[in-house]
A and B are shown apart, each in its own frame.
Chain A
Amino acid sequence: KQEVTQIPAALSVPEGENLVLNCSFTDSAIYNLQWFRQDPGKGLTSLLLIQSSQREQTSGRLNASLDKSSGRSTLYIAASQPGDSATYLCAVFDDDIQGAQKLVFGQGTRLTINP
């Protein structure tokens, strides 16, 4: 059974720092991996999707990498801002009948950027 772990569970840094969030998964036979952001009481907003054939994706100040062989992904946030404060969730695509590819989530990293 696929298990996803995110470290650290919480992180607090001053504004302007570059930071890395980590995600590991137990079964390397994944299809894709997606990073999400969740603000308190809200739904999930997609940040980056890395397909299984890719090694990284970039969007603005965000960069996500994927190393399937080691079962790891990292989310790099450059020049952090207070508006980046949120919970960041990593999810891997786990194959299922009919190819629905359900998501298996980590517990998330709660990020606080201090002005």
Chain B
Amino acid sequence: DVKVTQSSRYLVKRTGEKVFLECVQDMDHENMFWYRQDPGLGLRLIYFSYDVKMKEKGDIPEGYSVSREKKERFSLILESASTNQTSMYLCATRINYGYTFGSGTRLTVV
């Protein structure tokens, strides 16, 4: 089975910091996704990538950027963290017909 690993379960960062959230998958999949999950708003797509160095904006890309230099790694970057980016961040990959998610990173911006 595919494994999606998010490097941190919990992060606390200060307002204005540059934050990197890392995601690694072990099956050479092309498609990778970043979602954030908030109470009452559900899961919303931030960015996705369908190949190395390729990226597309999702529904809420403002304040975020991404990097995909290698197929197995997809990084989400908060250029200048703000308190409204406090959230659960979930990385996913898709192969064949189904999605696999990582265990999530709970980010708190203070």
Task: Report A's interface with B, CB cutoff 8 A.
Answer: 32, 34, 36, 41-46, 49, 51, 89, 91, 96-103, 105-108
Assembly CA distance A106 to B40 (angstroms): 11
Task: Report B's interface with A, CB cutoff 8 A.
Answer: 6, 31, 33, 35, 40, 42-43, 45, 48, 50-51, 54, 56, 58, 88, 90, 92, 94, 97-104, 106
Residues of B within 8 A of A46 (CB): 98-101
Asked if B50 and A98 make an inter-chain contact with CB atoms under 8 angstroms apart, the answer reads yes
Asked if A102 and B106 make an inter-chain contact with CB atoms under 8 angstroms apart, the answer reads no
If A100-B50, A102-B45, A105-B42 touch, does A49 touch B101 (CB 8 Å cutoff)? no
Q: Which of A43, A46, A91, A108 has the most CB of B within 10 A?
A: A43
Asked if B48 and A100 make an inter-chain contact with CB atoms under 8 angstroms apart, the answer reads yes
Asked if B99 and A103 make an inter-chain contact with CB atoms under 8 angstroms apart, the answer reads yes
Residues of B within 8 A of A34 (CB): 98-99
